[in-house]
């Protein structure tokens, strides 16, 4: 596996209020893990969607909510939110900015057939 200096990877405007940077993905040479860091502005949300794979959400700074299994969970530093495969979920920030890591057991979680958006549109990933 190559060494990826993710500070050299360009940031992407993924959707309004959400900027991302791939730490680990196909572009960085990863074969089986995707790690995406997002910087999310206050009061921004992602629409309901699901992934074919498990997803882990780690809030590094700030606070957010992640809704799945009919319940809204609080995301904050020190807490991992583990979303099972094919579980409909949505997420958003509150009144402050958040920095979040999203982790999947695939380097391309938004590729065709790996994610389904029930509301809205998928994020820009390149």
pLDDT value, residue 27: 78
Sequence-ordered list of residues with C-beta below 8 angstroms from that of 56, at least 6 positions apart, any chain: 80, 81, 82, 83, 101, 102, 103, 104
State the average pLDDT over residues 96-102.
97
Q: What is the tens place of the pLDDT at every residue in 11-36? A: 999 999 999 999 988 777 788 999 99
Query: What pTM does this model have?
Result: 0.92
Reply yes or no on whether the pLDDT at 1 is more than 70: no
Please state, in angstroms and rounded to a whole number, the distance separating the CA atoms of residues 31 and 17: 29
Confidence of residue 9 (pLDDT cuts 50, 70, 90): confident
CATH of domain 8-104: 2.60.120.10
**Using one digit for the tens of pLDDT, what is the confidence trace for 38-87?**
999 999 999 999 999 999 999 999 999 999 989 999 999 999 999 999 99
User: Where do the domains of the chain lie?
Assistant: 8-104
Sorting pLDDT into bands at 50, 70 and 90, what band is 116?
very high
């Amino acid at each position: 596996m190559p060494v990826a200096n993710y500070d050299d990877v360009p940031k992407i405007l993924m959707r309004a209020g959400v900027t991302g940077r791939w730490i680990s993905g196909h572009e960085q040479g990863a074969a089986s893990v995707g790690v995406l860091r997002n910087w999310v502005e206050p009061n921004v949300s992602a629409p309901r969607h699901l992934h074919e794979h498990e997803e882990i959400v780690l809030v590094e700074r700030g606070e957010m909510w992640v809704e799945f299994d009919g319940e809204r969970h609080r995301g904050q530093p020190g807490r991992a939110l583990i979303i099972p495969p094919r579980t409909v979920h949505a997420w958003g920030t509150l009144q402050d900015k958040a920095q979040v890591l999203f982790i999947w057991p695939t380097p391309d979680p938004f590729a065709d057939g790996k994610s389904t958006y029930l509301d809205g549109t998928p994020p820009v990933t390149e």
